[in-house]
Chains A and B, each alone.
Chain A
């Protein structure tokens, strides 16, 4: 493993400043993954973005402005909470929660969005487009655009605008235009396709604010660096509260942004296991899941080579998960590289396991997690039972569950008109 540049470990600003030992090559390749499988028409914009981002992350003024927003607007640093009563169910292991759910807009997404939105200002562009699945990234993007006075258009699969009607209302309240996408499977991947079509048409004045650590270079690198603050804070916080490094760091993986952010705090600590939990949906055998790393194959999607769900002909498969944020057939290229190299492990958690963990955290800690994050919690329950009471597990609680109350109410039959039980859904 490469040795980390010592400058990199210092404070929040350090997250942006250096190239470090884990950066992709100039073309954005992490080993055989990543790169730029993009229309030529967009390459000049990707070049401009890579160049501007590189300047920005080495510009003390930019870094200071971002740090200020992260602190005063988003509420960083996010706390670390020990979940004792929850840990009792995880074989008695110590479970520490990194509370990204307490950030403004309710998830880790704000870290990336504030960074990119500042970059948009710097590039002198006026219009921002983004995709969203559950609506979390859309809401975060609309929020940053309201704050920084940018025009905002959000593409969202028509299936999701129905499933997440309240988030559509939030985005509109924040001044964004929400465009439902009816093409393909009318979910997240099609929203990304439509955003790319908009971008290729309007690239001169428009930035595509991608919401996860996937896509063509420089997105996987840039989004990862903007989320590294999660891992850097968590490492210090865990050391302070336990005097040691955790045995494992767990995070859910959709496109992989919260996971890569928290992993990067520990990637040079060889004793710390990095474990990504993917959406197992109705089980890997059912074919209805979102587990690109655990059961996909290499290919190219949305601009990068990585693992993805596809059929024999290379047609992209539809993903499935009870959590809209993990309902994506691809995954960021750095995760593919970490998986192949063995530095990180990836496992799948079913809807049922995730929903059990969702309920358990609510009942034992008074914290309602996002269903995405509940996948990471389910991973901790499993791993704690494997490792026993001496284990220290850090879980990235990537978001809060307010947005999921409708799903949960139906799943658990919590409201009279929603009489569907978990069993009925299986």
Chain B
């Protein structure tokens, strides 16, 4: 299965893909595996995430707000090591969802981009989201990801110029990650108008699926975003729910979000 297949399947069901994020090792390695499995499983009523972004906890997460910062910090304090990432990735694949990794560049640079790509692929990973790696700096990663057949998921932002949207779309594969607002990760009270606008602008440059992240808080938000995006990315809200209610809560939340995306068939005009 490829990321493209996942988006194609979802589109055939006239809905956006649900993309969940959780840092590996949060709060501990075994618990993170349980949480990830629950996020894929859903709540028994509705299956959960189609794609899971496994986060690599990092000491200096400049793109992240307080929730993910705290979760990553907790994973690190509990002894998370980079090589354990691949166990989390395998668990997602085994549970039946498409795993990708989201990581800042330094740990991958340190691990060795080629070795990282090889190990990620071997664990069943399909791609890598790189919040602080733009295409111009991605030469090494492009070579490694090509060699190992991984997708390169770059970010676009409301501030991206048309030239940069084109360049980023050209360099990426799998899907494009559209940051819905100018800012860091974290649940927000409303879906920003800039998200819709960014998706519209990005579509003019690419036929890649577009996932929208940053700020999606609940099923209602997810449904709203799902009407104009191909994927809805939920991170901080999963962490908050998992902290409060553990794996059962994470599974229940995945089910709620997934139902939100299935509630009204997306209007093909908008998507």
Contact = CB atoms under 8 A, between A and B. Distances in A.
Contacts of A183: 66, 69, 73
Interface in A151-196: 183-184, 189-190, 193, 196
Interface in A297-313: 297-303, 305, 310, 312-313
Interface string B158-170: 1111001000100
A344 interface: no
A215 to B, nearest CB: 11
Contacts of B136: 27, 35-36
A43 B110 contact: no
Interface stretch (A90-98, A198-206, A404-412): A198-206
Contacts of B244: none
B159 A203 contact: yes
For B59, B73, B107, which residue has the most chain A Cβ atoms within 10 angstroms?
B59
A39 B106 contact: no
Given A40-B168, A300-B105, A313 B110 contact: yes
A38 interface: yes
Nearest to A312: B110
Chain A interface size band reads 35 or more
Interface stretch (B36-44, B177-185, B233-241): B177-185
Nearest to A190: B60
Interface string A321-333: 0000000000000
Residue with the highest number of chain B CB atoms closer than 10 Å, among A183, A193, A299, A315: A315
Given A39-B132, A40-B134, A189-B60, A315 B160 contact: no
B59 A315 contact: yes
B58 interface: yes
A315 to B, nearest CB: 4
Interface residues of B, number: 40
Interface in B119-147: 131-134, 136-137
A39 B181 CA distance: 13
B117 interface: no
Interface stretch (B8-16, B149-157, B253-261, B262-270): B149-157
Given A40-B155, A299-B106, A316-B60, A200 B182 contact: yes
A35 B137 contact: yes
Contacts of B65: 197
Interface string A28-49: 0000000111111111110100
A184 B60 CA distance: 8
A41 B110 contact: no
By secondary structure, the A interface counts as mixed
A299 B110 contact: yes
A334 B198 CA distance: 36
A200 B58 contact: no
Contacts of A47: 161
A310 B106 contact: yes
B155 A300 contact: no
Nearest to A204: B182
Contacts of B156: 40
B62 interface: yes
Nearest to A35: B137
Contacts of B76: 315
A11 interface: no
Contact of B106 (A35, A190, A193, A316): A316
B159 A41 contact: yes
A36 B63 contact: no
B106 A197 contact: no
A21 interface: no
Given A41-B179, A301-B60, A314 B133 contact: no
A43 B109 contact: no
A278 B169 CA distance: 42
Contacts of B108: 314
Interface of A: 27, 35-45, 47, 183-184, 189-190, 193, 196-197, 200-204, 297-303, 305, 310, 312-316
Closest 9 CB pairs of A and B: A314-B110, A41-B157, A314-B107, A201-B183, A315-B59, A44-B159, A313-B82, A196-B62, A40-B155
